[in-house]
Structure 1
Amino acid sequence: MSAAGNPRVERVERVLAAGEAPAGVGESPVWRVAEQALYWVDIPAHKIVRLRLETGERSEWLLPEKVACIAFDRHGTVLAGCESGLFAVTLGEDSAHLSPRAAQPGEPVKVTGRKLAAPVFPFPDMRFNDGRCDRQGRFWAGTMVQDMAAANAAGALYRFDGDGVLSAPVVDGLITQNGLGWSPDGTTMYLSDSHPLRKQIWAFDYDVETGEPRNRRVFADLNHYVGRPDGAAVDADGCYWICANDAGALLRFTPQGKLDRQIAVPAIKPAMCAFGGRDLDTLFVTSIRPAAGASEHDGHVFAVRPGVTGLPEPEFAGQL
């Protein structure tokens, strides 16, 4: 239903072709228009997963370390934010990409990446978390201390440009970085901190020429709504969709920061959403399986047609 209580009910369906085994932490859904395929990651399983929706073909690739966020360049190479840095990963199912022991049917294909860059992590046990490209094709990703119970604000947001240069921290003091997104014209950047002690979504004025965010301000304080702000997507109308983790909901905020839609999701911990489908009119939602008390739906992928369309996910502007 909408926040105002209007009698609009969206049908949220589990994507059965995504697989029967739930993800531990399903994140970073990306609809790749060139393939008409949905990609996402399972962070603790070190996996990148692809689903070709029209045929139901599902493929998996296994990385040597946790992978939290992905984007693509125009050649289909993956730019992946992992534990130890940013990597270029070539996916493939032929023998050149298999492990020394040939993969069996249904097994993930083992791949290794080429390290592109890495920040100086100020603490041990850190990794990249949420990431995506801005409208100009610069890749942005944030870091976090993996032990969320520590509430360590050592996380930071970084920019990786088309020349292969990783910036110094652009935004620091983050506990659990999340919620990256850009307005359709690229002039507003969104960022969240999903830690229970924060639950904030910020907006920035964004210089599309230089890639510099300025004028940070609170866009939405989720202490006044349900859940914690996890991954996000922006629709063609400029509205910001955020997964309300721990609340089993999707929230849509107008560009003015007003909540105007709330959609229930069968999984208690929706993690990130992305528009896809042939007409970009389907909102795909990945989810996290809680360690205790999980339902049959937790950790799976869901689809909803909210009556609005999204925008193609930008590709990385550089050569990987």
Structure 2
Amino acid sequence: MPLTVALDVRAQLGECPVWDVDGQALFFVDITGRALHRFHPASGAHAVVTMPEEIGCIGLRKGGGFIAGFRSGLWLLDPEGRRETRLADNPEDQRASRFNDGRVDPAGRFLAGTIDEPKDGGRAHLYRYDRRGLAELAGGLLTSNGVAFSPDGRTLYHSDTPTFTIWRYAYDPATGAATDKTLFARLQPSETDRGRPDGAAVDAQGCYWTALFEGGRIQRYAPDGRLLAEHPVPARCPTMVCFGGAGLRTLYVTSARHGRSEAELGAFPQSGSLFSMPVDVPGLPENRFDPSV
């Protein structure tokens, strides 16, 4: 079944969709639009909270609210999306770095990576945040993306978008240690297809779904790295996937329109919108950030 428009929002850079099982609502960010969106599919209700700076990622928070990654660092947000407390500064040069993709791990820590905006120096990193502070898990990156965990929490997936690569790590939920980095998948760009792995999610069978930025499609990979399926998206630049809806059997996909050509937007006028399609295999509920971990 094809992906269709779930919310015709035309975000500049829609990203990080997160499904709240308790509230049956989808939250996502518009990075360059500096906004946090809340969408309730059953009623069609849609609300937007304006942010003071670029917001790259969010995670649900135990007891309500969110943890979020901004250009300046990691912050706690209240249930309405208002900033409360800065947890950690972005340790990189904030003139050329901001937090990008992130996800809460099975124990309640937050993993979030940065983007090296010039994309020429490999200065981005993937970090882990818990009560001990910020710790580096991976470096030498251009755009940290695609953080997701296997159903048992013992495999961490992570991509570096401009290098067309997805990596797999052995992950210890008890300590937050990521070891044994191995190549999971490498996409092969061509002159007509620059699709590269952006945001991702894992389903209940342990399969990894990734959005291909500038690829106009999403992919599903088996746990052993075999490509199982591709689904076209009505936008050239899908950015991230997540599972939501009843039984977590709806796949949602955010997308981008910022910086795209007039010709591309003419061909894909709904770029920036939120898309969805039903899936046979459900997703996994999102973990919640626990400041005490």
Q: Report the TM-score when normalising by structure 1.
A: 0.85
Aligned to 1:241, the other structure's residue is in SS state strand
What is the rounded CA distance, in whole Å, between the counterparts of 1:113 and 1:68 in structure 2? 17
> What is the aligned partner in structure 2 of residue 212 from structure 1?
177
Q: Are positions 1:270 and 2:270 aligned together?
A: no
- Secondary structure in 2 matching 1:223: coil
Distance 1:47 1:182 in 2: 26
Residue deviations 1:243-299, cap 9 Å, x none? Answer: 011111110110000001111111110000000002100000000114213121210
> Matches of 1:253 and 1:316 in 2, distance apart?
27
SS of the residue 2:133 aligns to: coil
The residue identity in structure 1 corresponding to 2:270 is H
- Give the structure with higher Rg (CA): 1
- Please name the residue that 1:104 is paired with: none
Once structures 1 and 2 are overlaid, which stretch shifts more, 267-276 or 69-78? 69-78
Q: Structure 1, residues 184-238: CA drift from partner, whole Å, max 9, x if none?
A: 001110000001xx11000001112111010001000012696100000000000
1:49 aligns with 2:37: yes
Q: How many positions carry a matched residue from both structures?
A: 285
Q: Which one of 274, 277, 291 corresponds to residue 304 of structure 1? A: 277
Please name the residue that 1:75 is paired with: 63
Give the conservation status (yes or no) of the 8 Å contact 1:269–1:290.
no
For residues 173 and 258 of structure 2, what CA distance do their matches in structure 1 show? 38
Q: How does 1:231-310 map onto structure 2 within 5 Å?
A: 231-291=199-259, 292=261, 293-294=264-265, 295-310=268-283
The match for 1:187 is 154
For residues 90-124 of structure 1, the C-alpha deviation after alignment (integer angstroms, 9 at most, x for no partner) is 143xxxxxxxxxxxxxxxx9x44421112421463
* 1:177 and 2:144 aligned: yes
**2-side partners of 1:315 and 1:45: how far apart?**
25
Q: CA deviation at 1:74?
A: 2.2
The 1-side partners of 2:69 and 2:229 are apart by 31
Cα RMSD between the aligned structures? 1.7
Q: Output the CA distance in 2 between the equivalents of 1:123 and 1:297.
A: 31
Q: Which AA in structure 2 matches 1:180?
A: V
CA–CA separation in structure 2 for the residues paired with 1:171 and 1:273 = 23
Where do residues 78-97 of structure 1 align in structure 2 (5 Å cutoff)? 78-92=66-80
Alignment-mate amino acid for residue 105 of structure 2: D
Alignment partner, residue 128 of structure 2: 159
- SS in structure 2 opposite 1:279? helix
Runs of 4+ in 1 over 3 A off after TM superposition: none
Q: Deviations over 1:44-87 (max 9, x none)?
A: 11100001111111111111111010011122211000000001
Q: Output the amino acid matched with 2:4.
A: E
Give the equivalent residue in structure 1 for 2:28: 40
Distance 2:31 2:118 in 1: 14
Gapped runs of 5+ residues in structure 1?
1-9, 93-108
The equivalent of 1:14 in structure 2 is: 5
Q: Which amino acid aligns with 1:182?
A: F
Matched, 1:141 2:124: no
1:100-115 matches, cutoff 5 A: 111-115=82-86
What is the TM-score normalised by the length of structure 2?
0.93
CA distance in 1, matches of 2:11, 2:143: 20
Asked if the contact 2:68/2:75 (under 8 Å) is kept, the reply is yes
